[in-house]
Structure 1
Amino acid sequence: MQTIELLTQQAKALAAGETVEMTEAEQEVARILQICNACRYCEGFCAVFPAMTRRLEFFKADTNFLANLCHNCGACLTSCQYAPPHEFAVNVPQAMAVVRGQTYSEYAWPAPLGKLYQRNGLTLSLALFAALSLFLILSTVLNGHGLAVLWGSVDLKGNFYNLFPHNLLISLFLPIFLFAMLALAMGVRRFWRDIKPATSGADLKPPAALEATSNVLELKYLDGGHGQGCTNADDAFTHARRRCHHLTFYGFLLCFAATSLATIYHYVFGWVAPYEFPSLPKLLGAVGGASMMLGTAGLWYLHQKRNPEQGARQQKTMDLGFIALLFFVAATGMALWLGRSTPALALLLCVHLGAVMALFITLPYNKFAHGIFRTAALLRHNVEKRQPNPIGLGAD
C-alpha cells in the first residue's frame, strides 16, 4: 500500500512540472541526497534529513525545498564519513547553498532583477548607499538651504523634519517599501506553488503554522543538530552565529516597530516628532539599533571565520552586502540620534536616509530573501511531516 502511495506521489510530482530540467547544482544536491538517504547517520540533525527520508528520488522542487530548509549549520559536514576528500565528495551545506542562491535568482520578481543576485552584492550595496546619500545631500543643498546647512549654519532646532518634512519622507519611502514587499510576496508565492505538490500537497493548518513560527523565532536549526551550535573553520561548535542572528533579527524588528509606532503617534494621536528619550519609539529604536550593530558586526566576523567548504563562493558578496547595509542603517541611525543637536544633523540625516533607502531597494534581491524562503520551506516541512510517510522508513 505504501509503495502505491509513493508511486502516486511521484506521479503527481511529475504531472506538476517536475520534468523541468534540473540545473547542475540541483543534480548535485540530488546525487548527494541519494547517498545520504542510504547512510542516514545525520537523520536527527535538522529538518532536512527527516524530510529527505520521505523521498526515494529528488526532483527540482524537492531540491529547492530542501535547500531552503537547510540552515547551513555545518554539523553534517563535520560528521560525514563521505565528505571530501572521500571519492563520494558529500558536502551538503555547500551544495544546498548553491541551490539556494539559484532559487532566489529564479524566483525573483520582476524576473530580470534576479540577475542582481549574481553580481557583486557588496560593491553594489555600498555603491547604492553612497549614491543615494550623495543624492540627498545635493538635494538638500540645492533646495534653497545651500552649503551652509551642511556646516550647521542653518538652525534646524534639532528636528530633522525641518529639513525633510514628514510627508515628504513618507512619499519617498512608502513606494519603495511597498514595492519591496510586493516583490518578495510574488517570489515566495511562486516558490510555494512549485514546492507544494512535492511536500504532500496538503494545505497549511494552524498547528503546522504555529510550530513553523516557533522554529523561525527560535532559529531552532542553527543549533548544530545536537544543541551545540554551528561549526567554525576549526570544526569547533559555537552558538555565536545563532546569537548574532538573533541580535540582528530582533534588532531589526525593534527598529521597524519604533518606526511603525512613531507613524501611529503622528497620524492617529497627532503627536509630532521628534520624540525624546525615554519615549517608547526612541527606546525601541535605541535598543534595536544597538542590537543590530552588535549582531551584524558579529556576523561579519563569523563570516570570515567560517570554513569556505560550508558555503557557496558566489553568495559570499551578497551575504556581506546585506550585512553591511544593515550595520550602516543601525550605525547611522544611532549617530543621527546622538548628533541631532549638533551642526552635523543635516549630513547625518542624509547619510542615514541613504542607507535605509538602499536597504529597502535591494531587499527583494539581497540576503533578506533567504529568511522569507526559509520560512516558506519550514511551513511546508511542518505540513508535510504531519502527513503519513509514503515510504514508512523515515525519522517521523
Structure 2
Amino acid sequence: MSLDVTLQTDPGVILHDPVDEARRQVEICNACRYCEGFCSVFPAITRDKVFADGDITQLANLCHNCRGCYYACQYTAPHEFDLNLPAALAEARAESWERLAWPGGIAQMFQRHGTALAAALVTGFALMILAISALPGGGEGFYAWIGHTAMVAIFLPAFVLPLATLVVSLRRYWAEVGGTRITLADLHAAAISAGRMKNLDGGQGQGCNFEEGERFTNERRYAHQAVLWGFLLCFGATAAGTILHYVFDSPAPYGFFSVPKLLGVPGGILLVIGCAGMLVLKSRSDPALGTPGRGSGEWAFVWLLGLVGLSGLLLYWLRDSVLTGPMLALHLGSVLTFFLVTPYSKMAHGFYRFAALVREAQAKDGR
C-alpha cells in the first residue's frame, strides 16, 4: 500500500511542540486509514480534515496507548514519515494534563519527580499520624489511635480541595475540546466504554500490544479493570462507613460481614492485583512508545495506589496487634498523599479520559 499525501509540515523537520507533532502524525493517519478498526481514535480522526489544537487534545485523551497502531503501521522509522502515534499522542496528552491543571506547575513537577515526591509525602504524613496517635485519646478500634474529629479535620480538606482543582481543570478541558451540554445518554455511553475498557481490546477483542513486541494480550485490559473496580469498591466502602456513622449512628469498627468490609476487602485485593499487574506490564513495555520524561510520575502513581490497597489489607489483618499504630500511620499517610496528588498524578487521566469518552459520544451524534 502506498500513500500519496501532502503534509502541512515537512516530515523531515523535527517538531518540538507536542501538539504540532501529534497533528502532523494524525494528518498522515487520516490519509492512510489502515488502522480504522483499532480503537475510537481512528474513527474520530476520519470525521475531520483540519485539526485544531482542541481536536488534538481530545484525540490524545481518547487514546489509551494500546500501541497496536504502531506495530501495524508501515510508516514508522526508518520511513521518512517516522510515525510513532502512541508516543506523539502520549506526549500531547501529558502536556494537556500539565497545562490544564490548576494551580499550574505542580503537575509538571510530579510527572518528572513523582517517585521521590510521593515517597517523601507518604513518609512525612505517616510520621505526622504517628505523632498525633501519641497524644491522649479515646475510642474504639482505630479511633483509639487517632480520634474521629482529627480524621475529619485532616481528610475532609484533603478530599474536597483536590476535587475542586479537578473540577477547574476539567472545565478548562471541556472548553478546549468544544464540549456541549452533557446528557444522560452521553454519560451512559462513556460509562459503558470505560467499564468494559473497550478501547483496550484491539478493536477485535484480541487485546493490545502494550508489552514490548507484537504479541496481542488482554492483560493490560484486565489489570486496568481490576484497578478501576477495586478503586470503586474501596470508595464505596468509605461512603458506606460515612453513611453508617452519620445517618445510622453506627461508628467504626465494623465486623467482616458489614457493608464497609464486604466492599473494602475485595476492593483492596483488586487494587493490589491490578497495580501489581500494571507494574509488571510497564516493566516489559517499550518506553519509546510512552511519554518521554514522565516515567517517574507514572511509576509513582501505580505504586502509590497499590500501597493504599496493600496497607489497608495489612491494617485489617494486623488489627489489635502491636503493629496497628505503625500500619495505620502508613495507610493513612499513603491515602492522604494519594488524595493530594490526584489532580497532578496520572490519576487525573481517568477523569480526562472519561471526559474524552463523553465528548466522543457527543461527536458521534454530530454535536
The unaligned stretches of length 5 or more in structure 1 are 1-21, 146-155, 389-396
Question: In 1, Cα distance between the equivalents of 2:225 and 2:186?
Answer: 22
The answer on 1:169 being equivalent to 2:148 is no
The answer on 1:193 being equivalent to 2:193 is no
Q: 1:289 to 1:118 in 2, by over 3 A?
A: closer
The answer on 1:52 being equivalent to 2:42 is no
Counterparts in 2 of 1:217-236, with a 5 A limit? 217-231=195-209, 232-236=211-215
Confirm or deny: 8 A CA contact 1:107 1:114 kept in the other structure. no
The answer on 1:384 being equivalent to 2:359 is no
How far residue 266 of structure 1 moved from its aligned partner, in angstroms, is 0.8
The residue number in structure 2 matching 1:19 is none
Rg larger in structure? 1
Question: In 2, Cα distance between the equivalents of 1:379 and 1:239?
Answer: 24
What secondary structure sits across from 1:81 in the alignment? Answer: coil
The answer on 1:350 being equivalent to 2:365 is no
Question: In 1, Cα distance between the equivalents of 2:304 and 2:98?
Answer: 20
The answer on 1:261 being equivalent to 2:240 is yes
Structure 1 length-normalised TM: 0.85
Counterparts in 2 of 1:239-278, with a 5 A limit? 239-278=218-257
Q: Which piece of structure 1 moves more, 113-122 or 323-332?
A: 113-122
How far residue 158 of structure 1 moved from its aligned partner, in angstroms, is 6.9
Confirm or deny: 8 A CA contact 1:158 1:345 kept in the other structure. no
Counterparts in 2 of 1:87-166, with a 5 A limit? 87-141=80-134, 143-144=135-136, 159-166=141-148
The residue number in structure 2 matching 1:43 is 36
The answer on 1:205 being equivalent to 2:183 is yes
The residue number in structure 2 matching 1:338 is 317
Q: 1:25 to 1:112 in 2, by over 3 A?
A: closer
Q: Which piece of structure 1 moves more, 92-101 or 220-229?
A: 220-229
Question: In 2, Cα distance between the equivalents of 1:144 and 1:208?
Answer: 52
Q: 1:307 to 1:23 in 2, by over 3 A?
A: closer
Alignment equivalent of 2:260, drawn from 281, 287, 300: 281
What secondary structure sits across from 1:71 in the alignment? Answer: coil
The unaligned stretches of length 5 or more in structure 2 are 1-14
Counterparts in 2 of 1:21-40, with a 5 A limit? 24-40=17-33
Question: In 2, Cα distance between the equivalents of 1:205 and 1:23?
Answer: 38
Alignment equivalent of 1:66, drawn from 59, 62, 69: 59
Please give the root-mean-square deviation of Cα atoms over the aligned residues, in Å: 1.7
Confirm or deny: 8 A CA contact 2:107 2:345 kept in the other structure. no
What secondary structure sits across from 2:293 in the alignment? Answer: helix
The residue type equivalent to 1:92 in the other structure is L
Question: In 2, Cα distance between the equivalents of 1:275 and 1:118?
Answer: 38
How far residue 41 of structure 1 moved from its aligned partner, in angstroms, is 0.3
Confirm or deny: 8 A CA contact 1:67 1:99 kept in the other structure. yes
Confirm or deny: 8 A CA contact 1:244 1:299 kept in the other structure. yes
How far residue 202 of structure 1 moved from its aligned partner, in angstroms, is 4.7
Question: In 2, Cα distance between the equivalents of 1:90 and 1:236?
Answer: 20
Deviations 1:196-251 (A, max 9, x none): 1xxxx653333333211211111110111221112111210110001001111110
The residue number in structure 2 matching 1:76 is 69
How far residue 102 of structure 1 moved from its aligned partner, in angstroms, is 0.5
Q: Kindly report structure 1 stretches of 4+ aligned residues shifted beyond 6 Å.
A: none
Confirm or deny: 8 A CA contact 1:158 1:341 kept in the other structure. no
How far residue 59 of structure 1 moved from its aligned partner, in angstroms, is 1.8
Structure 2 length-normalised TM: 0.92
Question: In 2, Cα distance between the equivalents of 1:189 and 1:117?
Answer: 21
The residue type equivalent to 1:216 in the other structure is A
Question: In 1, Cα distance between the equivalents of 2:254 and 2:266?
Answer: 15
Q: How many residues align?
A: 352
Confirm or deny: 8 A CA contact 1:258 1:282 kept in the other structure. yes
